[in-house]
């Protein structure tokens, strides 16, 4: 019996979810706080959002993943400690930066704080052994011989990502073009591709071939 898998990426209205069940891929969408119910029937879930937060310092998985990205390291933001995220995006920036400096020795990006609501909502689902943190950029690289691709906002980057996914999707009797045709209309191309890459990463985890950062140890861990 096959396992029902999911790959999840955030988009403007919440989450876009690519579900693989019985060799067929379908789409789901939900708001930020509806995720728990939306994935209740699934058996293994990869999501492109930080899970398993720390109280002080930076997560080792973020530091290791940045190294793996090489010159594209800026594509992964450092996840601040839980207490910083709990201040929220609308907290005074001076307050946020002061607490980040106290807990990590450095400031925190506004990008990380903009995702604080999403990060905390997903972490509220823990403990959940189904959940894995999957980073699409490194999944695409793994599917394409190890090279990190051009920006996903560029035509070249989108094309490279589609090319890397299609050999796997062909084994399921589909393709990026067919799946995009059925994707909800409000989902941007790059977020749909990231959801599919996260699903591919979940599939790799299910089959025991995924890479992880750091290579050993307990969570937090980033997978691809």
Identify the band that residue 3 occupies on the pLDDT scale cut at 50, 70 and 90: confident
94-124, pLDDT tens digit by residue?
A: 999 999 999 999 999 998 999 999 999 999 9
Q: Where are any strands of DSSP class E within the chain?
A: 5-11, 14-21, 24-30, 44-47, 131-134, 212-213, 222-223
Which residues of the chain does CATH 3.30.420 include?
5-52+125-223
Q: Are 30 and 15 in contact (CB under 8 A)?
A: yes
Q: Which of 12, 7, 6 is nearest to 140 (CA)?
A: 7
Burial of 207 (0-12, 13-18, 19+ CB in 10 A): exposed
Q: Tokens 């704080």 map to which residue?
A: 113
**pTM for the predicted model, two decimal places:** 0.96
Pick the CATH number of 5-52+125-223 from 2.40.160, 3.10.100, 3.30.70, 3.30.420: 3.30.420
User: According to the model, what pLDDT value does residue 19 have?
Assistant: 98
- How many angstroms separate the CA atoms of 151 and 135, rounded? 15
């Amino acid at each position: 019996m096959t396992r029902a898998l999911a790959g999840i990426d955030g988009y403007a209205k919440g989450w876009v979810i690519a579900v693989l069940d019985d060799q067929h891929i379908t789409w789901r969408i939900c708001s930020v706080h509806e995720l728990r119910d939306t994935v209740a029937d699934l058996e293994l879930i990869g999501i492109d959002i930080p899970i398993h937060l720390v109280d002080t310092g930076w997560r080792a998985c973020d530091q290791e993943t940045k190294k793996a990205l090489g010159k594209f390291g800026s594509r992964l933001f450092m996840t601040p400690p839980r207490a910083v995220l709990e201040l929220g995006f609308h907290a005074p920036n001076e307050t946020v930066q002061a607490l980040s400096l106290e807990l990590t020795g450095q400031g925190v990006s506004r990008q990380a704080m903009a995702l604080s609501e999403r990060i905390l909502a997903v972490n509220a689902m823990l403990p959940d052994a189904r959940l894995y943190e999957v980073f699409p950029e490194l999944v695409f690289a793994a599917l394409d011989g190890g090279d990190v691709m051009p920006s996903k906002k560029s035509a070249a980057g989108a094309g490279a990502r589609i090319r890397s996914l299609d050999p796997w999707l062909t084994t399921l009797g589909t393709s990026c073009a067919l799946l995009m045709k059925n994707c909800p209309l409000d989902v941007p191309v790059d977020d749909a591709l990231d959801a599919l890459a996260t699903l591919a990463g979940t599939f790799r985890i299910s089959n025991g071939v995924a890479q992880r950062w750091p290579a050993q140890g307990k969570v937090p861990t980033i997978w691809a």
